[in-house]
Structure 1
Amino acid sequence: MEIIQIVGLGLIATVLILVVREQKPMFAFLLAAFTGLFIFLYIIGRIDTVISMLEQLAEQTGIPSIYLKTILKIIGIAYIAEFGAQIVRDAGQEGVASKIEFAGKVLILVMAVPIIHVIVETVLGLMPPGG
């Protein structure tokens, strides 16, 4: 099971970080950042299968691919912003982490506007004239 390997790596890294932090805090931070990056890159490879399945599903249902791509970009922004904010938080920079999260939320809103526009147009099209 892959999750056991990931948790094992996380636990080993945590022990090493706790041991090293007293003598070399910068090295401990780098170890934490590289561990997080390694796990992130390992998992990102698994996402390809999910994306392929979602594309097939969208194709079968007739949903335009632009909507699926936009939703996947939104999900990507959320994950990357969270990942970046957590690494910055590990470095003790809560203020910068909050700004990363805020930027992620704004970018998600910007990406969602076209989808919201289509939804509003669809709802308005379903309403009777003068309604």
Structure 2
Amino acid sequence: MDVLKIAVLGIAGLMICIFVKETRPEYALYVSLATGICILLLATGKLSYLMEMISRLKSYVPIDTTYLNALLKMIGITYVGQFSAGICRDAGYSSIAGQIEIFAKLSILVISMPILEGLMKTIQEFLA
């Protein structure tokens, strides 16, 4: 049901932006930004549950924390990149939004390299 709350909040923010844009276009960006921040703050509540489940999974299976930390970093980069790119698109700066998305993808690729290296070492051990 949280998804419905977020959807209603997003649609309400959109409607306010549409109405405000007719009279004060400069305030529409602020309303959009405030709506996005509210949604982002509501999403952070899910992170505590995610962290609890990850720690529970670590107690069941011995997982290297490097992999879990990399996964959490990737999730964070994805959220921040998408959020900031969306705000740039709303403001009419699609080229900056594209650059933010490219940088976020490259950052995820860099963070995932140690995981790929570990996978290759494991495969090499099986083949040897």
Counterpart of 1:92 in 2: which secondary structure? coil
Counterpart of 2:54 in 1: which secondary structure? helix
Aligned to 1:118: 118
Please, which runs of 5 or more residues in structure 2 have no aligned partner?
none
Structure with higher Rg: it is 1
Aligned to 2:53: 53
Question: 1:91 Cα deviation (Å)?
Answer: 0.7
Residue 55 of structure 1 contacts residue 68 of structure 1 at CA under 8 Å; is this kept in 2?
no
Q: Report matched runs for 1:1-131 at 5 Å.
A: 1-128=1-128
Give the residue type in structure 1 aligned to 2:97.
Answer: A
Please, which runs of 5 or more residues in structure 1 have no aligned partner?
none
Number of corresponding residues:
128
Give the residue type in structure 2 aligned to 1:83.
Answer: F
Residue 59 of structure 1 contacts residue 65 of structure 1 at CA under 8 Å; is this kept in 2?
no
Q: Which runs of 4+ in 1 moved over 6 A?
A: none
Q: Percent identity?
A: 32
CA-based RMSD: 1.2
Q: Give the alignment's TM-score, normalised by structure 2.
A: 0.93
Q: Give the alignment's TM-score, normalised by structure 1.
A: 0.91
Counterpart of 1:125 in 2: which secondary structure? helix
Q: For 1:48 and 1:122, how far apart are their aligned partners in 2?
A: 32
Residue 55 of structure 1 contacts residue 65 of structure 1 at CA under 8 Å; is this kept in 2?
no
Give the residue type in structure 2 aligned to 1:24.
Answer: R
Q: For 1:15 and 1:108, how far apart are their aligned partners in 2?
A: 34
